[in-house]
Every structure is written in C-alpha cells, then in structure tokens.
Structure 1
Amino acid sequence: MIVLEKFKAKSGVDLHTHTTASDGTWSALELIKAASAQKIQTLSVCDHETTANVKTLQLLARRHGMQFIPGVEIAVQHKNKNYHLLLYGFNPESVKLQTLLKESRHKLFEKRQIMTLSLLKKGYSLEEVTGIHSTSPLYELANALVKQNPALTFRQAWDICRSVEPAMKVAQPLEKALEVGRCAGAVSILAHPRRGGTETAIATDEVLKEMVDLGLEGIEGFYSGHTQVETDRLSQLGRKRKLLVSCGSDSHDERKKPISWNPELCRDLLEKLGIGASANAA
C-alpha cells in the first residue's frame, strides 16, 4: 500500500492545473504564485482544448525559477465513451495539434449556441458570451447567468445550464488524438482514470489495456480525486504494464489549490520530458 503522507518534498510537481484560458479561475500569474506558495518546482497547465496560456506561463515560470511543461487536456472517445487525454511536452506550434484543438473548440461553440437559445427560450436573462470558439459551454454559460442574474449561485446556474445541455458529446477519436500528439512530440497520459461522472467514463483495466495497445503511454495515477484504494490499484497497474505515471491536482481555483506531489512518484515521466526528478526533490 502506498501511503501518500510519507511523500513530502520541499519542491514538488503538479502536472494538471487549469487557468482562465478554459474553465479555471486562475490567471496565469495567479496560478504561478499559487504553485510557488505550495513549493512546486515543476508545473504544467492542461487547459481544455487550448494552449492559449502556454507561452505566458512559460515566461512567468522562468521568472519565478520554476520549470514549466506545456500541457493540454483533450476530450476523446473510445468505444462510444468519453475520456480525457493529457498531452505533455509537445511543440505548441504544431499545426496538426492546433487544428485538432480548433475543431473541438468550434464544436463546443456550436453546442454552446444550442444551449444559449434554450436558456433564452426559458426566459433567463443572459449576458452575451462572445467568441467563435468555446472550451467549456457549461462553465461559460453558468458564469454568464450569474453575472446577469446575481441572485443565482454558481451551482444553481450550473444546474440550470445542465438542464438544457444537449446529448451531443464533443470528443475526438482516441486514435486520432494519440496520433496528432505523437506528431507534435507529446507524451500521452490518460487523465483521472477512475474518476468517472457526467463528463468522463471510468477506465477499467480492460479499457486501459486497449488504450495502451493504441499507443497511450501512461496514466494519471496520483490524482486529487482518487481514493487511496484507487491510487494503489493504478500504481500497481502502472508498474505491471510499465506505464508512465503522472501526478495532478486538477486545480481550477482557490477551492482546490495546486498540490506539491513528490517528484519521485512520476520520475519516469519527468525524465522522459527532460526533467530530472531528483533535482526537484532537493
């Protein structure tokens, strides 16, 4: 059994965070400061379907003496079920990657338009959400509802938006996303394999084997939302199948801050990305 409490490092890693570029409330600078306060030495941002804040974070991380790994989180589909794929260490200028992300954002925009019309028909006052792309229709419209209807809490607005959400699931075929990632020089990791919920399915051992056969390189074995039992099982699976293992908080805001994971937990991944784990734990 892995006891996480014993893994305390002076300088840790967090490879799964979000900013205002998608559905987080951290600005790039706020995220860097929050990570620094947690003594995180190596950070990655994995905004949904966009790399808009990657360059800014690279600069800010350098100024704060922090190592930064470009990342992105992509909704993918495998056998009619949705999962989230994390790509790390890619070339942000990759045409194939940016084309894939643009496709997803445009489909999400179309979904947002359908939801917007439904909300207006129901009589809700709605501040216009601008832009021809979208990264999270639910998040964007819930925020717009709260701004226009101050009596609503964010959770109430979220539930209202959920009630008009169409059945359409926006996701790229897993094989396509993996291939695009490889072309961009990325390392592929399945996000929160055991989380499940309305957005993603739980990845069973059988599903993980299928994904690995298709080219998936690793799993997010250490995740803020996993139980100890789930973490132990994923760690065992990672060792058995010789998978790369990642550590992530999935921090979006102050309520769930970045976590300083011990770099030894994801040593192989860090080394593949050109970062020495031992240097982080100094």
Structure 2
Amino acid sequence: MSERIYDLHCHSTASDGVLSPTELVQRAVEKGVNVLAICDHDSIVGLDEARAESHKQGIQLINGVEISTIWTGQGGNRGVHIVGLDFDQNSLEMTALLAQQAELRLQRAIQIGEKLELLGIPDAYQGAKALASGEVTRAHYARFLVQIGKVSNDTQAFKRYLSAGKPAYVKADWVDIATAIKVIHQAGGLAVLAHPLRYNMTNSWIKKLVMDFAQWQGDGIEVAGCGQLPNQRQLVARWAVEYNLLASVGSDFHFPCAWIELGKSLTLPDNVMPIWAKFA
C-alpha cells in the first residue's frame, strides 16, 4: 500500500487562491494527495463545495481555516497566521469569530482602495472585487495592479504598494493568538502555527513566538512546507519536540507554479508526532 500524502494548508477562491474548491480537490487528486485541508483566510465558505467534490473523488477532506492574528513580537505587533484543523464548521464560536474577521477584511479592503485612489489609481476596490469570488484581499489588489499595468507581477505590487510601510498598506486589528486558539478548541479543532519561518523575524524571535503559542495551548506547528531547506525543516522539528507540539504539513498552495504544489515535498522527520494522529 502506497504512503498516504497529506496537505493540510492550501487556498481556494473562497479567499485568495485562484482555483475553486472543486478544482482544488481535483488537482490534489491529480498530485496524489490523499488527505486535504483547504484553509482559506478567515473563511470556511468553500468547505461544502470541496466536501461534495471530495466524496466524488474519494479523497479525505479535513475542515480547515487560516485565521489572521496579531502577536506582540519583534518590533511591535506582528501578523501571524493560525490554522484551525478538524473542527465543527457549524460551531457558534467559530461562526462569530469569522464574521468579525470578515468585517475587518471588508473595511481594510475598502481603505486600501481609497489609498490607491489617492495615488492616482481609480476604481481599485471595484477592480480587485471583480477578481475575487469571495473576500477581497491584498492578493486581489496585486492581481488588479498587474492587470492594469502598474506593476509587472504580484511581488512587485506588494513591494511598491501593499506591504507594511508602503503607501497603500492598511493594518488590521485582527484577533489575538490566544483567542484564536480558544475558538478553534471550542469548535473541537486543533490549532496550528502556520509557516513559522516566513514571518521576517530572527530565529530567536520566532522561537519566542513558538513558545508563546505553546503556552497558550496551541496544538501543532507546520514543520514541512514547500521550498524548505533541510536545515529549516529540522529546526522547526526541534521546536516541535522542545515545546511538545504536533507536526503538521502544508504547501500553502494558492496557484499553480513551479515551486509550490499540492503535496510536494511534505515529508515529516521521524522524531515528530504527526498532527493527523489526533484527527477525530
């Protein structure tokens, strides 16, 4: 029997991915993934569609969401993503939190559009919204800026306009990490610290984040992701062991490209406990 392939972090058009939930499940099957979690940003609206397709395709779908949070770390407040896995999507606590986050996202998106208007880019919110199937995110603004020829690619859009400190950036007062963990647990799920090495902090500050996450009763950490160097994976695995955290895996797939793919290179080191051992 072939080894099961897990991918517990990817995105659909319900947030800033380019594939619909149905297409995402179909691509996962093509890439040999057996267990998939779609973790859209502060949204679970794609889960029902994905589950219907997963039944057709014979793939296991795990309920997932990626919650935007704030952590007071190196240099002040930092945006940190917490993945919720294997929770009850009808949980009242989860529904309330995601509604709150959706309102924050809407107001932020409108304000970004207003800033771009002041920079001489009219109708940016409408343009970004036309590219979104669900919530409007900075990724949709980046695609709009590429579409109208202001930049040549999404990365350039973030560097010129949308990243922290740039003229169209708008910070959001997301929920704190401890609250996100609490709500995930109230919904019967597992809380995972997403892509810990991608927060543009020194390793000592990232380790402090991991320590805080564990103290707040977080359950797991993404140990394996696409594009990692072997020493990076081993470093996160050591933190998982040190802080008694379960090990998760996730491509963080948003769109087809050469370096990030569903199920690609998501093998865990032998010294960690896989998070799926705790799935209900």
Which residue identity is paired with 1:228? P
Structure 1 window deviating more from structure 2 (158-167 vs 41-50): it is: 158-167
Indicate if the aligned counterparts of 1:61 and 1:67 stay in contact, CA closer than 8 A.
Answer: yes
Indicate if the aligned counterparts of 1:125 and 1:145 stay in contact, CA closer than 8 A.
Answer: no
Residues 41 and 116 from structure 1, CA distance in 2 versus in 1: closer, same or farther, beyond 3 angstroms? Answer: same
For 1:183, the equivalent position in structure 2 comes to: 186
**TM-superposition CA deviations, 1:107-149 (whole Å, max 9, x none):** 1221221221121222224351559x974531122233444x2
Q: Given the alignment, which residue of 271, 274, 278 partners 2:277?
A: 271
* Structure-1 separation of matches of 2:267 and 2:209: 28
Q: TM-score w.r.t. structure 2 length? A: 0.83
Which residue identity is paired with 1:252? H
**Partner secondary structure for residue 198 of structure 2:** coil
Aligned-residue offset at 1:99: 1.4
* Structure-2 separation of matches of 1:92 and 1:141: 29
* Structure-2 separation of matches of 1:258 and 1:16: 9
Structure 1 window deviating more from structure 2 (14-23 vs 122-131): it is: 122-131
For 1:196, the equivalent position in structure 2 comes to: 199
Aligned-residue offset at 1:100: 0.9
* Structure-2 separation of matches of 1:31 and 1:61: 10
* Structure-2 separation of matches of 1:188 and 1:37: 28
Matched, 1:172 2:175: yes
RMSD over aligned CA atoms reads: 2.6
For 1:139, the equivalent position in structure 2 comes to: 139
Indicate if the aligned counterparts of 1:219 and 1:243 stay in contact, CA closer than 8 A.
Answer: yes
Q: Given the alignment, which residue of 251, 254, 267 partners 2:253?
A: 251
For 1:280, the equivalent position in structure 2 comes to: none
Identity of aligned residues (%): 22
**TM-superposition CA deviations, 1:219-268 (whole Å, max 9, x none):** 00111243321210111222233311001111111112202535887764
Kindly indicate whether structure 1 or structure 2 has the higher relative contact order, using CA contacts under 8 Å at least 6 residues apart. Answer: 1
For 2:117, the equivalent position in structure 1 comes to: 120
Indicate if the aligned counterparts of 1:126 and 1:145 stay in contact, CA closer than 8 A.
Answer: no
* Structure-1 separation of matches of 2:149 and 2:87: 41
Structure 2 runs not aligned, ≥5 long:
none
Which residue identity is paired with 1:19? S
Q: Given the alignment, which residue of 82, 85, 91 partners 2:82?
A: 85
Aligned-residue offset at 1:211: 1.6
Which residue identity is paired with 1:250? D
Residues 237 and 151 from structure 1, CA distance in 2 versus in 1: closer, same or farther, beyond 3 angstroms? Answer: closer
For 2:60, the equivalent position in structure 1 comes to: 67
Aligned-residue offset at 1:61: 0.9
Which residue identity is paired with 1:258? L
Between Structure 1 and Structure 2, how many residues are aligned?
262
Structure 1 runs not aligned, ≥5 long:
1-8, 275-282
* Structure-2 separation of matches of 1:126 and 1:154: 19
* Structure-1 separation of matches of 2:123 and 2:210: 41
Indicate if the aligned counterparts of 2:116 and 2:168 stay in contact, CA closer than 8 A.
Answer: no
Matched, 1:17 2:10: yes
